[in-house]
Structures are given as C-alpha cells and as structure tokens.
Amino acid sequence: MAESQEPQGSEGQVSEAQIAVHWREEEYYYPPAAFVEQANAKDPAILERFTEDKFPGCFKEYADLISWDEPWHTMLDTSNPPFWKWFVGGRLNASYNCVDRHAEANPDKTAIIFVPELESDDHLEITYAELRRQVNEFAALLRDFLGLSSGDRVTLHMPMVPELPVTMLACARLGVIHSQVFGGFSGTACGHRIADSGSRVLITMDGYYRGGQLADHKVKADEAVAAARQEGQEVDKVLVWRRRAGQYASKTPMAGGRDFFVDDLLSEHSGKTVEPVSMSAEAPLFLMYTSGTTGRPKGCQHSTGGYLAYVAGTSKYYQDIHPGDVYWCMADIGWITGHSYIVYGPLALGTTTVIYEGVPNYPDGGRPWRIAEKLGVNIFHTSPTAIRMLRKVGPEEPKKYDYHFKHMTTVGEPIEPEVWRWYHSEVGKGEAVIVDTWWQTENGGFLGSTLPALQPMKPGSCGPGVLGVYPVIYDEDKKEIPAGSGKAGNICIRNPWPGIFQTIWGQPERFVQTYYAKYNKNPDSKDWRDWPYFAGDGAVQAADGYFRILGRVDDVINVAGHRLGTKEIESAALIVSEVAEAAAVPVIDDIRGRVVEVYVSLKPGFEPGKEMEDKVSKAIETEIGKIARPKNVWIVPDMPKTRSGKIMRRVIASISNFADVGDVTTLANPEIVDSIRHHVQSAKVAKDDVPRELTEAEFEEIKKFGAD
Amino acid sequence: MGMTRQYVAGELSVLLARLQAVTTTETARRDAWSLRRAAETEPIPALGPVTVRALKLTEGLCWESLNRGDTVAFTRQAAVCAELHEFGVCAGLLKET
C-alpha cells in the first residue's frame, strides 16, 4: 500500500511538519523476499508476543538469548520508581556471554575482524578462542597488577582497535565498570570524565592512524591526568597499549611508576585464566558519558542483565544478525552505538563483528565498499552524516565493488528521504532492507524502528516503537497527541524496558528531574504507567503509527502552536554573509504564546542598521517560512558567553522578556550584558513593546532556556 | 539527551584539534582550543555556530599565511578548512552554499 499524505497547514502558513523537517510522508518500501525468507523475525506472531498486555513478561524472550548463572525471580521491580530493576535475582557475566560460550561451542569462528586504516596493512582476524585468551590475560593483569575488583571504575580513552573490546570485556569479566571516552576527544574532556567517575586507572594507547597519519594519542593521557587532578581525582596508573608492539608512537615520555606498557606487563600474565565473576543483573556494566553539557558530565549508568538482554534481542530481531553473518557497524565504540552494536550485541549473538580503525573516506570514497567486498560484509550500519559524506565524495563508488548487503541500518539522526534513497539504491543496490533507528545514549538500544521482514520501510520515518516499547507523544499540557493528527510534540516512552539506563552516575536527582519529572503523573506511585520517560526529542506520529523524529524539544520555540527549531532559525540567520553569530530566543506573547527574537553580531567591518535587520529577518522567512519571522532582530556588538565560548541564551532571553538575568559574573564578557540590556529594552520601551510581567512558570522557562 | 548524535561532537572535536595544529599564532591556538572545548561541551544543536566560528578562524589563518607568502602553512590550513566545511555540510551543521 502506498501512502501519500500532504502536510497539514492553514492557507498562507507553513505547516508544522514543513517547518520541522521540510519532508512529507513517503511511500513504503517492502523487503525483498529473499531477506524475509531468512529473517530472524519473519513470523508476525512475534508482534503479538510483545503487545502491551504481555509486558513485562514479553522480555523473557530477550533474556533467553543470554546465559544466566542463576535465573531471575522477578522480571521487573518497580518498588523504587523510576529506578527500575530488571531480572531481579538473576546473575550472569557479560564477558562469559560474549566470549566464553562461543569459544566453547565454536572456537575457530572469527569474532572480530580488525581493519587497519592503512590499506597496506593486512586485516586481522581474531577467533573466539583467541579473544578468550586475550580477555583472560588482560583481566588477570587488571586484577593482579592493578588490584581491580567488581564495582571499581576504569576510564578507557582508546581508538578503534581490537584492544578496546578486549579491554572492555576484561573489565566486564571482573565486574569492573568501564567508562570509554571517545578516542578523538581531548585529554581535558577525558579528565573531566575520569574525575566524575572516580577512576584511579586510565587505559589508553600510544597512537593510532587517522587520515593516513599516525596520531600521538598518549599525549592526551597526560592532559587527562592533569585535568582530573584539578578536580581532585588522582590517577594512580596509566596503562598504555602500543599500536605496534615494541614501538612507541608517542613523543610523550612515560611517567615512571605511573605509566606502563601493556605488552610489557602482559608477558607476566601469559596463559592465565580468570573465572568470570558472577554479577547481579543489576550490577553496572559501564558508564557512557554524553557530551553537550558545560556543567557536570552526565555518566549514563547501564546495567549488566537488562542491557545485555536488550542489545542481544534488538541485534537479533532488528539487525537480523545470524552467527554466520559478517557484520560491520562503522560507528566508533566510544559512543553507545559502538558499545551496543559493535561489541555487546553482536558478540552476545556469536557473530563476526568488523572494527575499522580510520575515517571512512581514507584514502578515497571507495574504501568502505572495498572493505565490504574483501571481508564479505553482509550487514552494514552507519549514520546519515557518514552516508552524506560518502555520497558526496563518491556517489558512483558502491557500484564498482562486488559486495552484497542484506541489511543496512541508519542511526543517530533523521535521514532525509533523498539521502535514504541513495543509500537504498546505490549502497544497498536495491537488495538490502534498511532499518532507520531512533534511540539515545540513555536507552541502551533501539526505541523506534521497523522489524525488517515484517514492517515496511518508509524514508524519513524511523517506524513504530520497537518490540515491547510503547511510545506516546504528549503536548506541553501533558495531553496525548493522537497519531495522524499532524501535530508534533514530545516523544515519551510509556513503559520501562530492559535497556534503559539505571541512573546518572552519582546524580540520581538529576536523573529523575531530567527524564521523568516532566510527565510524571504521581510522584508517590509505584506503577510504571505513571512514569513516562521523557526522551527530549520532538516527533510526529503518522496514522500508520510510524514516528518522524524532529530534533530536541528543548531547543524549540512554540509560536502559535508551531514548533520552531532555534537551530534552524539561527542557521538561517547565519546565511546572511555579514552575520558572525546568531541566537534565537522566545519572548512571551499573550496572543501567540511565544514569539521569536533573534540576536546577531556582525563580522568586523559591517555596520548595524535597519537594512541589516531586514536582511536577517528576510533570510529566516525565506528559509523557514513566515511563521518563523522574528518579532525583532537585535544587532549587538557581541553575545554574552561563557569562558568556553557558549552563547548564554538564557541571558538574552531574560533581557528580551525584561526578566532578571541572574548571575552573570562567571561570563567571559559580563560587561556586554548591560550594554545589550540598555540597547534592547530602551528600544522596546520606545515602541511600547514591553511584555507583561512573567508568571513563575514563564520565568522558569526563560531562566532555563538554552541550558542542558 | 536527544538522539545519539554524540558522534557529531566527537568528529568536530577531532577536526578542531587539527585546526589547532595548523595555527601559527598563540592567539589563534587559544581560539582553536576554545572552539574545541565548546564542541565537546555545547549541546549538539549549538555546534553549527561553533563550526561557523571555526571556519571563520581558519579563513583568517589562510589570509594571514597568504599575506606572509607562507604557502606551506596556507596549504595545510586550507585543507583543514575544506574538511571542516565538508563535514559541517554533511553533518547538517552548515547549509551548503
């Protein structure tokens, strides 16, 4: 069935859907018969097994994919909401599940294929038996040399090399909580995460290849240790893997008594085995920090049992992973996608997972397709950003190579239908299904997607809620927005699921406040139905139940019911070549709810004036629509900024609303605030444009505007 | 919170480290460091303006190198500028012009 639904909107106005995504509903694409035939989930009965009346018992099907030392007695404990406990009483070890059980059953099967960035270097195949040996020896080192045991935290700052999953799985073997920081991040960012997690050990690598160059990575370890120390956290030991054994790729000296080469130490642990520590299902497996916060870092704490069951289940049914597949997720293990869908999910299912060291377009745009051809990859997983990049550098490249994907994933952000179609027809050669997935670092695994053999694809839509996950869209008044209404709102998940993170490490109040307070129906309730999870993304649900994700809701200004993305408005303003910076803020308006005001600063040499204001206003109107036309454009000499350069939108929003700007003493340029206030407020007074006094709720909204 | 677009911040941070490496003055090095810090801490939707500022900084560096007749520095800076622009467009941080 083809569906074509025009976006709704009154005459003369741009509709909400157009504003939000500029896309319209697309036609369905159906999976090829050959795919359906072999799919893990091809019997529609699976959809029945996960209906809401079967919740939470339906997740036994996921839990049964992993091996338990002791069975759980309670599937879901809701006694302390929203700190949900899954598979209570159960005990297991994640390392055993991802390594040992496959090494016992199929020791010579390839677990990991490592592809170095330099094409002159051969790829490396690591069997499950070999992986077991390496994980055991490194676990012995962690235990015997460092004295680590369950519950300790260890920070990893490693590139995309096989030593990274070995390190993660060795930690998991001991019950040590690993916290991998994206290898490309600075030492300072790593140091903040070390301090927050209380790690006394940092595990890193001397260097890695990126863009054809051997990058010095160890230098960042010294920065990280110093940054952590500034926050009161000492790092006792730094373990340094060497990219090429026996050769040191860094110019930074090793600190005596603190820094140790892993290959030197491993020789003392050769052949050692470490019994996997049987962990409670609720024991934390890892922390994954999210970026995007100038305040305290946010470490998402993921459990052992619930998380592992969830990523195994979604890998099996949504990634359609079979043990005989060669699966390549091109994400970085430093992100949740890499944890869930390079390491834990695929290895829990005993498949072969590919790890590629470098950038996808090195040395040219054909590289991913050469890798796929050479290794026989049949499942491919990447982000829209990478797809756009590959299309740009080599739109004709895929057809030059003889590879055949049965399944492809897109993850991380909405994908434009046009890009989706290139992915489908060129990369997938029209033979592969695509699953478009929506989820977040906090979620462990997919929340919205299509079951590839049973639910047709629709470009631009991620699909319905996944098995056992029941999304809903609420408006700001906590009213449910019905499917097919064409209205956008805040996408929430009505129920807990096993992959949901347990808390923000060390910040339980922030966890409750950020994710549950907004739509909680009764803070004293022990019923999960009263605790919808607030995802922070805006969405529209079509009549067929498919969701289109629109972006973060906390960056939206709601003008007369139309949700305008501040980023889109600011991007439109930046199209004006004279504009250096732009910030859009809401102003309370009794008729339209909120109206938009835009602040811009100009590049050197350009003068403010009415003509420039009109130019900015016109650019926004042209790019987005009349509804987004700002009420005022204020040209200011500079924006109030933090020392890291972040524009303090709450300060300018307060000025526009004649509200108290709060403490500005910590800004990099506090003197600019008075200058802007005088300029803006005197102009508003002169044209009788002073908003009424804000209510307490409105004041809170303005105060929080633009904050994390 | 928000979708799993964390990798955009990560890749931008990597590119800004490269920008830092091709700066020729202490002021520019500090500016590049601040931008990288912003990329690692700002909310994802704010990364567009960070990219714009980075391009502006790179463009300034290129002009300075040209004025000095330093073609080696210019070539390295222009390469970073091109990569930043390409990534910014593909990641939806910049509009293609």
pLDDT in tens, A661-691: 988 887 888 999 999 999 999 999 998 888 8
pLDDT of residue A508: 96
What's the whole-number mean pLDDT along residues A263-271? 96
Q: Smallest Cα–Cα separation from A208: which of A227, A236, A182?
A: A182
Instruction: With a cut of 90, say whether residue B3 has pLDDT above it.
Output: no
Alpha-carbon span A114 to A166, nearest angstrom: 12
What's the whole-number mean pLDDT along residues A143-157? 98
Q: Smallest Cα–Cα separation from A435: which of A411, A465, A470?
A: A411
pLDDT of residue A292: 64
Alpha-carbon span A105 to A99, nearest angstrom: 10
pLDDT of residue A702: 84
Cβ contact A552–B44 (<8 Å): yes
Cβ contact A537–B3 (<8 Å): yes
Residue of A nearest to B53 (CA): A580
CA distance A56 to chain B (A): 25
* Residue B89, token pair as written in the block: 């467009």
User: Dmax of chain B from CA atoms?
Assistant: 47
Instruction: With a cut of 90, say whether residue A477 has pLDDT above it.
Output: no
ipTM of model: 0.88
Alpha-carbon span A489 to A537, nearest angstrom: 8
Instruction: With a cut of 60, say whether residue A470 has pLDDT above it.
Output: yes
What's the whole-number mean pLDDT along residues A324-342? 96
Instruction: Express as a percent the part of chain A with pLDDT over 70.
Output: 94
* Per-residue model confidence as pLDDT tens digits over A214-242: 999 999 999 999 999 999 999 999 999 99
Q: Smallest Cα–Cα separation from A27: which of A5, A9, A46, A45?
A: A5
Best of A181, A186, A553 to mutate (most B CBs within 10 Å, chain B): A186
As beta bridge partners, residue A204 has A157, A240
Which residues of A are less than 8 Å from B21 in CB distance? none
Pairs of CB atoms within 8 A across A/B: 154
pLDDT of residue A647: 81
pLDDT of residue B25: 93
Residues in chain A: 708
Best of A223, A563, A644 to mutate (most B CBs within 10 Å, chain B): A644
Instruction: With a cut of 90, say whether residue A17 has pLDDT above it.
Output: no
Alpha-carbon span A124 to A117, nearest angstrom: 12
pLDDT of residue A319: 98
Which residues of B are less than 8 Å from A188 in CB distance? 37, 40
Residue A662 zone, left/alpha/beta (φ > 0; ψ -120 to 50; rest)? left
Alpha-carbon span A273 to A472, nearest angstrom: 48
- The residue whose two tokens read 């109030």 is A640
Q: Among B11, B38, B95, select the one facing A184 at the smallest CB separation.
A: B11
Alpha-carbon span B70 to B85, nearest angstrom: 22
Instruction: With a cut of 90, say whether residue A413 has pLDDT above it.
Output: no
What's the whole-number mean pLDDT along residues A491-512? 97
- Return the top range by mean pLDDT from A89-98, A480-489, A640-649: A89-98
pLDDT of residue A322: 97
Q: Among A385, A514, A565, select the one facing B1 at the smallest CB separation.
A: A514
B59 touches chain A (CB under 8 A): no
Task: Tell me the pLDDT band of A577, cut-offs 50, 70 and 90.
Answer: confident
What's the whole-number mean pLDDT along residues A398-416? 93
Q: Among B14, B91, B95, select the one facing A385 at the smallest CB separation.
A: B91
Contact predicate B35/B53, CB 8 Å: yes
More confident residue, A153 or A475: A153
The region of weakest confidence among A2-6, A168-172, A441-445, A527-531 is A2-6
Task: Tell me the pLDDT band of B5, cut-offs 50, 70 and 90.
Answer: confident
CA distance B66 to chain A (A): 20
As beta bridge partners, residue A239 has A203, A260
Instruction: Express as a percent the part of chain A with pLDDT over 90.
Output: 77
Task: Tell me the pLDDT band of A3, cut-offs 50, 70 and 90.
Answer: very low
* Per-residue model confidence as pLDDT tens digits over A288-319: 998 765 567 899 999 999 999 999 999 999 99
As beta bridge partners, residue A503 has A301
A627-654: b (≥16 Cβ within 10 Å) or e: bbbbbbbbbbeebbbbebbbbbbbbbbb
Contact predicate A552/A537, CB 8 Å: yes
* Per-residue model confidence as pLDDT tens digits over A620-665: 887 777 888 999 999 999 999 876 567 888 899 999 999 999 888 8
Which residues of B are less than 8 Å from A331 in CB distance? 7
CA distance A482 to chain B (A): 22
The region of weakest confidence among A42-51, A217-226, A332-341, A600-609 is A600-609
Instruction: With a cut of 60, say whether residue A19 has pLDDT above it.
Output: no
Task: Tell me the pLDDT band of A2, cut-offs 50, 70 and 90.
Answer: very low
The region of weakest confidence among A77-81, A312-316, A339-343, A657-661 is A657-661
pLDDT of residue A62: 98
Question: CB-based burial of residue B71 (10 Å sphere; 0-12 exposed, 13-18 middle, 19+ buried)?
Answer: exposed
Alpha-carbon span A582 to A573, nearest angstrom: 6
Q: Among B7, B9, B41, select the one facing A383 at the smallest CB separation.
A: B7
The region of weakest confidence among A157-161, A328-332, A367-371, A665-669 is A665-669
Q: What angle do CA A389, A390, A392 make, to 5 degrees?
A: 65
pLDDT of residue A604: 82
What's the whole-number mean pLDDT along residues A443-459? 97
pLDDT of residue A568: 72
What's the whole-number mean pLDDT along residues A264-270? 96
Instruction: With a cut of 60, say whether residue A210 has pLDDT above it.
Output: yes
Q: Smallest Cα–Cα separation from A636: which of A667, A679, A686?
A: A679
Phi and psi at A648, nearest 5°, equal -90, 90
Instruction: With a cut of 50, say whether residue A209 has pLDDT above it.
Output: yes
What's the whole-number mean pLDDT along residues A57-76? 98
Which residues of A are less than 8 Å from B87 in CB distance? 385, 389
Which residues of A are less than 8 Å from B36 in CB distance? 186
pLDDT of residue B52: 86
pLDDT of residue A16: 45
Residue B92 zone, left/alpha/beta (φ > 0; ψ -120 to 50; rest)? left
User: Cis peptide leading into A471, omega within 30 of 0?
Assistant: no
CA distance A565 to chain B (A): 9
Instruction: With a cut of 60, say whether residue A358 has pLDDT above it.
Output: yes
What's the whole-number mean pLDDT along residues B7-32? 94
Cβ contact A290–B43 (<8 Å): no
B34 touches chain A (CB under 8 A): yes
pLDDT of residue A611: 95
CA distance B48 to chain A (A): 7
Cβ contact A582–B14 (<8 Å): no
